[in-house]
Amino acid sequence: MPGTDVIDNKPPEAETEELLTKWDLEQLLSAKLGPDTRVDSIATKQLTQPGENYGSNILSVEVTLFPDHKKLDLVAKLVPLSPFLREIFNCGVTVRTEIDVYTKVSKEFQEIQRENNISKKDYLDIFPHCYGARVSRKEDVGQLADEGAAILIENLTPLGYRCGDRITGVDLEHSEMVASRLAKFHATSIAIKIKKPSVFKEVIMKESKMKSPKENGSSNGVMVTRVRSLDEDEIITPEKKGSPLEPEFTKPEKDSSDDSAPPVAFFKLFRFSTASEKFILFIGLISGIACGLCTPANSLLYGDLTGSMVNFGTYAGIASMNESATIPPEVVQEFVDAIVRFAIGISCVGAVMLVCTYISITTFNYAAQKQRSEQARRGNRRESGHVRVLSCGIYQQHYSSLHQGMGAYTDMFSITTNNITICWNNYKSEYLQICIASALSRKELEVYGQAGSIAEEVLSSIRTVVAFGGESKEVDR
C-alpha cells in the first residue's frame, strides 16, 4: 500500500510493462484531485470488443483511493499498442488534439456560457469530466503524443448513458436532441469567435491545423501549430511547383464500376430469406411449374381438336365426291366431342394459367422486393466510409439487379417445365424449336446492342449533336 510520500518523477521499474500503473494514475489524477492523491488499488478491463476501435485503446478503470477508499469509475484512452495502427491513424496528432480539446477547448466553452449567464436548461455540457491527460511520460513541452499518452475521463455508464447501435439507429427524440446539441456546439464556437477573438485564434483555431515534427522541419519533437485562414489557397512548395515546360503525364485511373461482379448462385439469392418467405417462394415455385405445364396442355388440346377435324374432313370430302357415301355417325359424334373437350379444356387451362401466373409472379416479386429493401436498409446503416466507395447509382444498379434476378426465375421455371414436357412428347420438334429460338435471340441481341451503342454515343455528346443539327441523321442511324 503506497504511503503519503512525494510522488516520484520516474515510474517504478516493476510496473513499466503494464498499460496503466498506479504511478500513472497518481500522476494523471493529481491535476484534478491534488498532488497528494494516492491510489490504493486499480481494476482494469477492455471497454470495447476487438475490431470496434482501431484509433485508440480504451479501458474501463475502477480506482480505489487511499486512505478514504473512495472509488472512481473512469475510462482511460490510450494510444494503440500496434506501431502500425499508431502510424496509419496519425495518433501523435489526433491524441494531442483530443487532449487539448478536453483540457483547453472544453474550459473555454464552459467559461463563455458562465460569463453570459446561460440557464441550466440551455447550458451545453457535452464533454465528460476529464480527470487528467498527458501526451507523454516525459515533460510536456508541446510535443506530439507518443506511446505514453493517456486520457482519463469519467465513465458515463453508471449515469445511465450507453453507446448507440449504428445498425439499429436512434429514434426521433434522440435525433432531435443530437441536432440541437450540435447546433448549440457550433453556436458556442461562433460566440467565442465574436466575443473572444483572441481566445478563438489562440485556443480554438490553434488545434485545427497540426503537423508532425518532420513536416515542420523540427528535429527535437516539439510540435509546431499553424493557423490557416479560410480563404487561403493551397501552398505551392518548390517540390510541387516544377517547370512549366516539363509536362506531367498521369496514368488514367481504372474505373472500378466497370468491373463486372461475379455471378451469384441461385440458392444464394435467397439465403437471407425467412421461413415465411421460403414458404411463399415454394408456393410460387409450384405455381410456376403449373404455369409451365399449361402451355403443353394447351398444345395437346389443339392437337386433339386438329386430329378430329382432319378425320372429320376426310370423311366429309369422300361424301362430297360420292353421293352414295355418308359420314359415319361415330365420326360426327367424335368431332362434336372433340369440340366440347377443347372448349372445356382450353377454358380450364386458361383459368389455371391466369391464376398460377399471377401467384408465381406475385410471390417471387414479393420475396425479391423484401430482399432488396432489406439490403438497401442495411446498406444505408453502414458507416459513411463504406457507402462512399461507390456512387449511389452503382448501389441502385446492384439493388435492381438483385430484384430482377430473383423475379426472372419465375419465367425460368415456366419455360423449363414447358420444354421438359414437350421433349417428353416429341423431342424432335423441341430440338428444332430450340435451334430456331437461339438463332433469332442471337440476332436480336446483336441488333439491340448496336442500337444501344449508338444511343449511348449520341446521349453522351447530345450538345454537339444539337449544335450541328444532327438529330435526323442520328435517328436514321
Residue from 66, 67, 48 nearest 58 by CA: 48
Contact at 8 Å (CB) between 59 and 44?
yes
**Predicted pLDDT of residue 131:** 92
pLDDT higher than 70, residue 382:
no
The Cα–Cα gap between 438 and 207 comes to 69
% the chain with pLDDT above 90: 8
Tell me what pLDDT residue 158 has: 84
Beta carbons of 301 and 347 less than 8 angstroms apart? no
Give the amino acid at 284. Answer: G
Q: CA angle at residue 111 from 105 to 113, to 5 degrees?
A: 110
pTM to 2 decimal places: 0.44
- For residue 150, count CB atoms less than 10 angstroms from its CB and return exposed for 0-12, middle for 13-18, buried for 19 or more: buried
Q: Which three cell numbers stand for residue 282?
A: 415454394
166 HSE (CA, 13 A, CB side): 7
Residue 36 grid cell: 497528494
Per-domain residue ranges of the chain: 13-155+175-216, 274-425, 429-477
- The answer to whether the beta carbons of residues 278 and 406 sit under 8 Å apart is no
Residues 435-458 have pLDDT tens digits of: 777 777 778 878 887 888 888 888
Question: What's the pLDDT tens digit per position in 204-220?
Answer: 887 555 444 444 444 44
Give dist(CA 353, CA 360) in Å, integer. Answer: 10
pLDDT, average across residues 281-300: 82
> 138-152, 316-330, 360-374 — which is least confidently predicted?
316-330
